[in-house]
């Protein structure tokens, strides 16, 4: 059995978080991951308080296990969502795409376990000082909004910088990746891309097919000129976006292009206009499975390779 201090800290059985993917990580997927013993996470993304409240109630109707809400800090509704997680007594809040410190005092006082996603050592240190329970160190291999540093380089540097548990994210989709993350000092992993093809994931069929067909060079990061780079599967949208970016389009023009593109991919399966956010590891995701099968395979696979890891040590 693979158990780390993070499991006891959060009351979960397996040290696997499901990434808080915008327009994708809803009560259906999150409740299935939590039921499987991991930490399911509802993505509040750009949704308002009412949507989030409904999703939390739906999740609670399906499981009584711990779960999280991902608060996307660039959302226009971040303030109201930050209140909902307190009112609803959400056990774990994961934040992304910004600095969460302005909310941390209220969340800590409410007894919420706060786990910011960080893409740098500097932000990891800052949130640790402000009472974070753990951090997710997310490498640039991830899908969605990304930083510059790879998982391999970021995780051990964050582990050395803070004395709270570190969860590794970015480029992890099987037991080898989980075991490697543990070797870097992580106490858990966050996985997004592999859960895109989970049976309980309500994303469009078009999205799932694109992930299943992807190979190692199928993603690209665009939007570096805006200061908010995003990784997605190559598609007509990323081609058009990159062309406009190279031609010197302003951040506002590029932002306008992006509006609605995540929903078009996730909900409508619109190949031409959708932005299919996805991590570099998509090439390894080739099978539709239940969330439970995915969680079990990640953990069992890690156990297997960790047990064999000393074979080369004389």
User: Which positions touch ligand TUI (CB under 6 A)?
Assistant: 22, 45, 72, 74, 96-99, 117-119, 123, 138, 144-147, 228, 230, 258, 277
Measured from the CB atom, the residue of 13 and 138 that comes closer to ligand TUI is: 138
Shortest Cβ distance from residue 182 to ligand TUI (Å)?
21
Q: Give 27 or 97: the residue with its C-beta nearer to ligand TUI.
A: 97
How big is the CA angle at 221 (ends 18 and 184), to the nearest 5 degrees? 50
* Residue 283 contacts residue 215 (beta carbons within 8 Å): yes
Q: Which C-beta is closer to ligand TUI: that of 74 or that of 309? A: 74
Taking the complex as a whole, the smallest distance from the CB of residue 258 to ligand TUI amounts, in Å, to 6
- Closest separation between CB of residue 167 and ligand TUI, Å? 12
| Other Cβ atoms within 10 Å of 194 Cβ, number | 27
Question: Quick check: 171 and 281 in contact, CB under 8 A?
Answer: yes
| DSSP secondary structure code for residue 266 in this structure | I
Q: What share of the chain is helix, strand, coil (3-state, %, to 5)?
A: 45, 15, 35
CB of 256 to ligand TUI, least distance (A): 12
* Residue with the CB atom nearest ligand TUI in the bound state: 144
Which residue, 260 or 301, is less far from ligand TUI as judged by CB? 260
Q: Round the CA-based radius of gyration of the chain to a whole number and report it.
A: 18
Instruction: Retrieve residue 76's tokens.
Output: 């226009």
Please identify, using beta-carbon distances, which residue of 147 and 165 lies nearer to ligand TUI. 147
Dihedral sign of CA atoms 59, 40, 28, 220 in order: positive
- Report the C-alpha gap between 17 and 181 in whole angstroms: 13
Least Å from the CB of residue 138 to ligand TUI: 5
Name the pairing type of β-strands 230-233 and 219-222.
antiparallel
Q: What's the min distance (Å) between Cβ of 230 and ligand TUI?
A: 5
- Taking the alpha carbons at both ends of the chain, their separation in whole angstroms is 26
In whole angstroms, how close is the CB of 252 to ligand TUI at the nearest point?
14
Cβ proximity of 133 and 114 under 8 Å: yes
User: Which is closer to ligand TUI, CB of 229 or CB of 269?
Assistant: 229
Nearer to ligand TUI, 91 or 223 (CB): 223
């Amino acid at each position: 059995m693979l158990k780390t201090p993070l499991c006891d800290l959060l009351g979960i059985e397996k040290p696997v978080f499901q990434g808080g993917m915008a327009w994708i990580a809803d009560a259906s997927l999150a409740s299935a991951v939590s039921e499987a013993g991991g930490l399911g996470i509802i993505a509040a993304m750009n949704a308002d308080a009412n949507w989030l409240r409904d999703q939390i109630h739906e999740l609670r109707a399906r499981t009584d296990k711990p779960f999280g809400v991902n608060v996307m800090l660039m959302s226009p509704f971040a303030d109201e969502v930050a209140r909902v997680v307190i009112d609803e007594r959400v056990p774990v809040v994961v934040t992304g795409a910004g600095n969460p410190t302005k909310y941390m005092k209220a969340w800590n006082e409410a007894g919420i376990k706060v786990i910011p996603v960080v893409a740098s050592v500097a932000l990891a240190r800052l949130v640790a000082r402000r009472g974070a329970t753990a951090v997710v160190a997310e490498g640039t291999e991830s899908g969605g909004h990304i930083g510059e540093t790879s998982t391999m380089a970021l995780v051990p540097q964050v582990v050395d910088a803070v004395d709270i548990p570190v969860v590794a994210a970015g480029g992890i989709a099987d037991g080898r990746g989980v075991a490697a993350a543990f070797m870097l000092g992580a106490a858990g992993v966050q996985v997004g891309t592999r859960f895109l093809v989970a049976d309980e994931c309500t994303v469009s069929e078009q999205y799932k097919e694109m992930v299943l067909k992807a190979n190692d060079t199928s993603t690209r990061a665009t939007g570096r000129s805006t200061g908010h780079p995003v990784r997605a599967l190559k598609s007509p949208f990323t081609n058009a976006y990159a062309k406009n970016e190279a031609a010197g389009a302003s951040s506002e023009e590029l932002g306008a292009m992006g509006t609605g593109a995540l929903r078009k991919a996730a909900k409508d399966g619109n190949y031409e206009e959708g932005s299919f956010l996805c991590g570099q590891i998509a090439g390894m995701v080739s099978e539709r499975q239940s969330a439970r099968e995915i969680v079990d395979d990640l953990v069992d696979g890690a156990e297997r390779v960790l047990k064999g890891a000393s074979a080369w040590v004389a």
